Amino acid sequence: MNTKEIRQLFPILHQEVNGHPLVYLDSAATSQKPVSVIEAVKHYYERDNSNVHRGVHTLGSRATDAYEGAREKLVRFLNAGSAEEVIFTRGTTSALNLVATGYARSVCREGDEIVITPMEHHSNLIPWQQAAKATGAVLKYIPLQEDGTIRLEDVEQTITERTKIVSVTYVSNVLGVVNPVKEIAAIAQRKGAKMVVDGAQSTPHLKVDVQDLDCDFYTLSGHKMCGPTGIGALYGKRALLEEMDPIEYGGEMIDHVDLYDSTWKDLPWKFEGGTPIIAGAVGLGAAIDFLESIGLDEIDRHEKRITAYALERMSDIKDLNVYGPRSDRAGLITFNLGDVHPHDVATVLDAEGIAIRAGHHCCQPLMRWLQVSATARASFYLYNTEEDVDRLIASLIKTKEYFGHAIG
Ligand code: 7TS
């Protein structure tokens, strides 16, 4: 399928915003949804809606099949060992919190270490910060190189025999860095630590195989990979999940309840207290079918092409500073245009129908490391074209002229 055909499958892209055809360059925040995902959710509510794992009636079993069927798709998509290893969550944030609360707090003792990097999204930073505070563990950071990448020598140095957990993003949502998580996982495990991978920005774009990465935990958000909001997942190695206590108690997750004690269901339901996000899971299953029908390798190739083209065009704009490495990067470009505030850049672009993100991107420590308060960011997905990039560049040139006085 070519990009023009792919675009036809995304109804939202075919509209005017502020009198201009929409150019959507904010997929790192959330991706748009193809018609097959929208239809799957609609179909579920129109035909199958019911609660899962409860009633014996037909709709109940259809809903349960749809929900568990979506889990099976995710198991295959990630190459997890079994359905027990894939827990539905609200997204990456709640998956990381589940590990930081359900696992880290029970294994970390005073003086143990949790290792992360300064490029982490707040969702992969604050849960560890709080787990460290609660347990007396020390939070340590793998240092960044000037271009924002990390070196395996530094990983080797930072992780010690006292390290219990290492948690690193696969792809940075600001720098576009693709971290060597497989190699980091090997180092972590050699030293006796568990490896957590924040897969929010990798899963939509790269072929992921959790067994090949050999990470202990992996997280993802459905809404960044063409699925609905409110659904995501935690992959965990079975033995570790067995060890962990649930963090949410209530319906759906119990086996036997007495007045003064209770027992839990088996994996994965032990971690899925309450009525789950059934329609979201169904939508995520449809998103996986969609991504597989295009092919993750093809998506990756397409994004690399668009990003290389955008970087080349941006290099012609004087005073436009791009952050992160020049090569080997993911499909997003974070930048500043001289001293123009990124919110002003995004506002001018929005007036031309171009959606980019501006702000700290939930990475305040990284902003301080970059010595900026905020940046602008254009992020690409399978539906973006070179024409989108041309529109972006033309508007950036206009913005530069408009704010000429602010540029050195
Ligand atoms: N980790 C990374 C690397 C992210 O980019 C994000 C969201 C999250 C975790 C949290 O994901 P959630 O689905 O639980 O919210 N990143 C962004 C972004 O860059 N702009 O908006 C959200």
Give residue 406 CA to ligand 1 midpoint distance, Å: 31
DSSP 224: G
Q: State which amino acid sits at residue 249.
A: Y
Domain boundary among the residues 239, 265, 293 is at 293
- β-strand partners of 346: none
Give residue 208 CA to ligand 1 midpoint distance, Å: 18
> Among the atoms of ligand 1, which is closest to the Cα of residue 174?
19
Q: What is the mean pLDDT of residues 190-212?
A: 98
Which structural domain, as residue segments, surrounds residue 326? 3-30+295-407
Q: Are residues 207 and 69 in the same domain?
A: yes
Check pLDDT > 90 for residue 326.
no
Domain boundary among the residues 259, 293, 327 is at 293
The enclosing domain of 322 has a CATH number of 3.90.1150.10
Residue whose C-alpha is closest to residue 104's, from 270, 243, 272? 243
Hey, whose CA ends up nearest to atom 20 of ligand 1? 29
Domain boundary among the residues 293, 317, 335 is at 293
| Alpha-carbon span 74 to 355, nearest angstrom | 30
Q: Are residues 288 and 139 in the same domain?
A: yes
Ligand 1 first shell, C-beta below 6 A: 28-29, 91-93, 121, 123-124, 169, 173, 198, 200-201, 221, 357, 361-362
Hey, whose CA ends up nearest to atom 5 of ligand 1? 173
Mean pLDDT, the chain, integer: 97
Q: Are residues 241 and 212 in the same domain?
A: yes
> Among the atoms of ligand 1, which is closest to the Cα of residue 91?
14
Q: Are residues 286 and 185 in the same domain?
A: yes
Q: 144-183 pLDDT, tens per residue?
A: 999 999 999 999 999 999 999 999 999 999 999 999 999 9
Q: Are residues 142 and 209 in the same domain?
A: yes
Active site residues: 362
Q: 125-146 pLDDT, tens per residue?
A: 999 999 999 999 999 999 999 9
Q: State which amino acid sits at residue 213.
A: L
Q: Are residues 20 and 98 in the same domain?
A: no
Check pLDDT > 70 for residue 259.
yes
Check pLDDT > 70 for residue 408.
no
pLDDT attached to residue 327: 87
Q: Specify the number of domains making up the chain.
A: 2
Percent of the chain clearing pLDDT 90 (strictly above): 96
pLDDT attached to residue 240: 98
Q: Are residues 333 and 370 in the same domain?
A: yes
Q: 385-404 pLDDT, tens per residue?
A: 999 999 999 999 999 998 98
Q: Are residues 13 and 151 in the same domain?
A: no
Q: Are residues 193 and 313 in the same domain?
A: no
Give residue 25 CA to ligand 1 midpoint distance, Å: 15
Q: Are residues 326 and 228 in the same domain?
A: no
Residue whose C-alpha is closest to residue 397's, from 338, 357, 343, 326? 338
Check pLDDT > 70 for residue 405.
no
Q: Are residues 203 and 156 in the same domain?
A: yes
The enclosing domain of 46 has a CATH number of 3.40.640.10
Percent of the chain clearing pLDDT 70 (strictly above): 99
Q: Are residues 254 and 190 in the same domain?
A: yes
Residue whose C-alpha is closest to residue 168's, from 211, 119, 233, 126? 119
Give residue 53 CA to ligand 1 midpoint distance, Å: 31
Question: Which residue among 362, 375, 380 is best mutated to probe the pocket of ligand 1, counting the most ligand atoms within 8 A of its Cβ?
Answer: 362
Q: 22-78 pLDDT, tens per residue?
A: 999 999 999 999 999 999 999 999 999 999 987 789 999 999 999 999 999 999 999
